[in-house]
Amino acid sequence: MHELSRVNVARTRVLVTGGAGFIGTHCCVALLEKGVDVVVLDSLINSELNAMRRVEEISQSKIHFVEGDVRNTPLVKKIITEHNVDSVIHFAALKSVSESIKSPLEYYDNNVVGLISLLQAMQETNLCKIVFSSSATVYGVPDRVPITEDFPTAAINPYGYSKLMAEQLLKDVAKSGEWSIGVLRYFNPVGAHPSGKIGENPKGEPTNLMPIITQVAAGNREKLLIYGGDYPTLDGTGVRDFIHVVDLADAHVAALRHLYANRGIRVLNIGTGRGVSVLELISTFKEVTGVEVPFEIVARRPGDVAECWADASLSNQVLGWKAEQSIEAMCEDAWRWKRDNPLGFAD
Ligand SMILES: NC(=O)c1ccc[n+]([C@@H]2O[C@H](COP(=O)([O-])OP(=O)(O)OC[C@H]3O[C@@H](n4cnc5c(N)ncnc54)[C@H](O)[C@@H]3O)[C@@H](O)[C@H]2O)c1
């Protein structure tokens, strides 16, 4: 048994910023199931309040929800004090690479200034435990796979830079005092809660692969465009490390346990350790759902890499956590969410 399994998170109070979003909602379910008291701060810029109600339905527990912006430092301080918060999980950010190229200032403001505001509020209230959502994008174009945490970092767009800047900020802050910080570099989160009640519901055009696959499957768009069929991979399409969002949510509970037991900063890959090509994902989707996903292979997109998958052994070892769910489950759950909720969270 892993040493962290003895750390009890029940009845601790966690502030989840961006808790109404895709990963945040699944994380709230995982926390509530462990008896954690959850406070969500979300501006709803990319989510809907109904998502919180669905989380309450699944977990049969109440959430304290505050609509507001993480850049509002006095508000964050007030929440931390009023709710006696023990630790923070920081999801709130903007996440589209293409939008970040069009609106870099908005991205730096939200993702970097937002983190500074949160850390200031934490420092002023003597709160020092935080889990941060980083991304495999910080590896830029990796030389080889699998990727370990000591690979060089690089960014190729403002979104990537905002995550790298945030990581640097956290490393510097960790040196300045008694902080406990977990930086989780997610690979490619997909899937949805098996209940079919919550899932990825981007406002506007999705830029991630799975929501586009499910939109094509549902007949909302004609076909999927696959960028690049001539990569040096087994079938020529890009290879990624798809991880079920429920596994990802569990990694946050494990990271919290780690923070409650350790000081300093830990940077960890959160992936399955297995690469799956875009074509493999599409054929698995068809196999498990019986629904066809028409596609067309077009030219590569600048900035995309051939292969990006994690060596997840450090997070397995440090957190006593491992991604368990199959590609089949990821496809099945993503489709159930889309099929049962054609209008997203609107009832
Ligand atoms: N989904 C992915 O593929 C992926 C991959 C790697 C890292 N990440 C990171 O994980 C985190 C969560 O991603 P997600 O997929 O759940 O995104 P999401 O857009 O679904 O959720 C983000 C949530 O944060 C809220 N938000 C944004 N800015 C805010 C602000 N200033 N104040 C308060 N709330 C704010 C949004 O309304 C939304 O509910 C982000 O930091 C993202 O960069 C996501």
Q: Return the pLDDT at 266.
A: 98
Q: How far is the CA of 93 from the centre of ligand 1 (A)?
A: 4
Residue 179 Cβ contacting ligand 1 at under 6 Å? no
pLDDT score for 263: 97
- pLDDT (tens digit per residue) in 191-201: 999 999 999 99
Residue 202: predicted pLDDT? 85
Say if ligand 1 is within 6 A of residue 20 CB: yes
CA quadruple 40, 30, 281, 271: dihedral positive or negative?
positive
pLDDT in the model for residue 203: 85
pLDDT at 128 over 90: yes
Residue 207's pLDDT is what? 85
47 lines ligand 1 (CB under 6 A): yes
pLDDT of residue 300: 96
| Paired tokens of 66 | 């505050």
Nearest CA to ligand 1 atom 15: 22
Could you tell which of 25, 98, 133, 203 is best to mutate to test the pocket of ligand 1, judged by most ligand atoms within 8 Å of the CB? 133
User: In angstroms, rounded to a whole number, what is the distance separating the alpha carbons of residues 63 and 60?
Assistant: 10
pLDDT at 302: 87
Q: Determine whether the shortest distance from the Cβ of 70 to ligand 1 is under 6 A.
A: yes
| Residue 135 · residue 162 · CB < 8 Å | no
Instruction: Flag whether pLDDT at 170 surpasses 90.
Output: yes
Summarize pLDDT for 312-321 with one digit per residue, the tens.
Answer: 999 999 999 9
Kindly report the average pLDDT of the chain as a whole number.
97
Which amino acid residue places its CA nearest to atom 6 of ligand 1?
135
Instruction: Assess whether the C-beta atom of 252 lies below 6 angstroms from ligand 1.
Output: no
The sign of the CA dihedral 279, 285, 286, 287 is positive
Q: Please, how many CA atoms are within 13 Å of residue 255, restricted to the half-sphere of its CB?
A: 34
Q: How far is the CA of 235 from the centre of ligand 1 (A)?
A: 32
Domain ranges of the chain: 9-340
- Our answer on whether the CB atom of 44 is closer than 6 Å to any ligand 1 atom is yes
Can you tell me which atom of ligand 1 is nearest the CA of 186? 6
pLDDT tens digits for range 176-213: 989 999 999 999 999 999 999 999 998 888 889 999 99
Q: What pLDDT, in 10s, does the model give residues 129-163?
A: 999 999 999 999 999 999 999 999 999 999 999 99
Does ligand 1 come within 6 angstroms of the Cβ of 49? no
- Give the residue, out of 70, 95, 193, with the most ligand 1 atoms within 8 A of its beta carbon, to mutate for a pocket test: 95
- Indicate whether 5 pLDDT > 90: no
Q: pLDDT of 220-260, one tens digit each?
A: 999 999 999 999 999 999 999 999 999 999 999 999 999 99
Q: Decide whether any atom of ligand 1 lies within 6 Å of the 201 Cβ.
A: no
- Predicted confidence (pLDDT) per residue in 58-117, tens digit: 999 999 999 999 999 999 999 999 999 999 999 999 999 999 999 999 999 999 999 999
Residue 275, amino acid: G
Whether 249 contacts 32, CB under 8 Å: no
C-beta separation of 17 from 87 below 8 A: no
Q: Which of ligand 1's atoms lies nearest the C-alpha of 202?
A: 20
* pLDDT tens track for 281-304: 999 999 999 999 999 999 999 889
Residue 347 has pLDDT above 80, yes or no: no
- Tell me the C-alpha distance between 83 and 88, whole Å: 12
| 260-273 pLDDT per residue, tens | 999 999 999 999 99
The CATH homologous superfamily of the domain defined by 9-340: NAD(P)-binding Rossmann-like Domain (3.40.50.720)
User: Does residue 121 have a pLDDT over 90?
Assistant: yes
Decide if 260 is catalytic.
no
Say which of 159, 161, 186, 231 is annotated catalytic: 159
Bond preceding residue 146 cis, omega within 30 of 0: yes
How many Cα atoms within 13 Å fall on the side-chain side of residue 118? 32
